[in-house]
Amino acid sequence: MNKPLTVDSYFFAMIIAAGVIIGAVLVAKPEAADAGIPPYLWLLVCMLVFETAAFLRRQGAPGTMIGMSTRVLGFAIGMALIVAIVFFTGSPARLF
């Protein structure tokens, strides 16, 4: 039998997708990094939206929220993807 995916699996999939999308936006339009919100906060906003949706979906029941270590690891993965995409494409976008 297939075991259903945990909320952590969905979180990491969302973080990877968000990191790639944010990196692609910064490559396509480097001036977007100079907007009012720095790119690393874009990733935090994605995390906030995901966690709010996860909480509202199950009313915060045990096992439906992600742990702090998962949040930190997810943020690190997302930032690593953004930095790698911007760096290896030679984009002039400013990240911080």
Tell me if 27 is assigned to some domain. yes
Instruction: Dump pLDDT digits (tens) for 16-31.
Output: 999 999 999 999 999 9
Range of the domain at 57: 7-89
Instruction: Dump pLDDT digits (tens) for 51-87.
Output: 888 888 878 777 678 889 999 999 999 999 999 999 9
pTM: 0.87
The count of domains in the chain is 1
- pLDDT of residue 96 exceeding 80, the answer is no
pLDDT band, very low/low/confident/very high, at 35 (cuts 50, 70, 90): confident
- Give me the long-range contacts of 80-85 (CB less than 8 A, separation at least 24): 80/19, 81/16, 81/19, 81/20, 81/23, 82/19, 82/22, 82/23, 82/26, 82/39, 82/40, 82/43, 84/23, 85/19, 85/20, 85/23, 85/24, 85/26, 85/27
Which residues, 6+ apart, have CB-to-CB distance to 13 below 8 Å?
none
Tell me if 1 is assigned to some domain. no
